[in-house]
Structure 1
Amino acid sequence: MQRTTYSTGTAWEPRVGYSRAVRVGPFISVSGTTATDASGQVVGEGDIYAQAVQALTNIRTALEALGGRLEHVVRTRLYVTDISLWGDVGRAHGEFFGTIRPATSMVEVSRLIDPVMLVEIEAEAIVPE
């Protein structure tokens, strides 16, 4: 099967050796995605809801670059630095996936790669043939 990758062009991807998203056949896996803009700067400092919205927007962009859509997402994983803010992250997730309703997990982690980052989200999609 053909493997296609998508990169945002930020410095992290070549340094760490990963792609924002990879498509193999009908499957798309989107790496842990944070609230960064096109220049790699964190959006929504101190606001976990704004960061979740930006991360989910970045996921949508990666999916679309590989021929997918949010409707194709079957699984998400949400990593938050403060689980007491789960409602704000859940609200953002619901705004993107309310009727799609993928399987999901949300777990608290001690920190992310940048202390300003409050949430990181992964997604898996299956694109119909």
Structure 2
Amino acid sequence: MRHEQVHTDPDPYAPYLLSQAIRAGGFLFVSGQAAVGDDGGIVGRGDFDAQAQQAFSNLERALQAGGSSLGRVVKVTVFLTSMAYVDKMVELRRKWFSAPYPAETMVEVSALYSPDAMIEIEAIALADDAASLRYA
């Protein structure tokens, strides 16, 4: 099975030798998207709402770069530094996804890649076989 690396521009993952996403077998596997801004820094330190907005925006950008979209997401895993944000996640699901909502696993973790990061979202989506990869 052939697989292709997906990039965004800027690509904050490149220095770490990670892929934003990989397209393979009609699916797009998106790496965890956090509240990373174009400058590579965390957006909204200490502000879950701002971080969630940025993480979902980054997820959408990676999906589009890989020839998919939020409407084609079939599975998400959400990593939170506190389950106190569960109610907000329901609101975010309603804002960013539509029925049928993707399958989801939500996990509380003691820390993410940065002590300032509060949320990270990874996804699996259906990819358009005819789409060419592009930089978003």
The alignment's TM-score, normalised by the length of structure 2, stands at: 0.84
SS class of match (2:53): helix
Q: What stretches of structure 1 of length at least 5 have no aligned partner?
A: none
Superposed CA RMSD in Å reads 1.6
- 1: distance between equivalents of 2:116 and 2:90? 19
Identity percentage of aligned residues? 36
Counterparts of 1:9-28 in structure 2 under 5 Å? 9-10=11-12, 12-15=13-16, 17-28=17-28
Q: Which moved more, 1:105-114 or 1:85-94?
A: 85-94
After TM superposition, give the deviation of residue 95 of structure 1 in Å.
0.6
1:47 and 2:47 aligned: yes
- 1: distance between equivalents of 2:74 and 2:33? 16
Match of 2:37 in 1: 37
SS class of match (1:105): strand
The alignment's TM-score, normalised by the length of structure 1, stands at: 0.88
- Contact 1:56–1:93 under 8 Å retained in 2: no
Q: How many residues align?
A: 127
Deviations 1:9-47 (Å, cap 9, x if unpaired)?
22x4332x2101111131000011101111111112111
Match of 2:98 in 1: 98
Q: Which moved more, 1:69-78 or 1:87-96?
A: 87-96
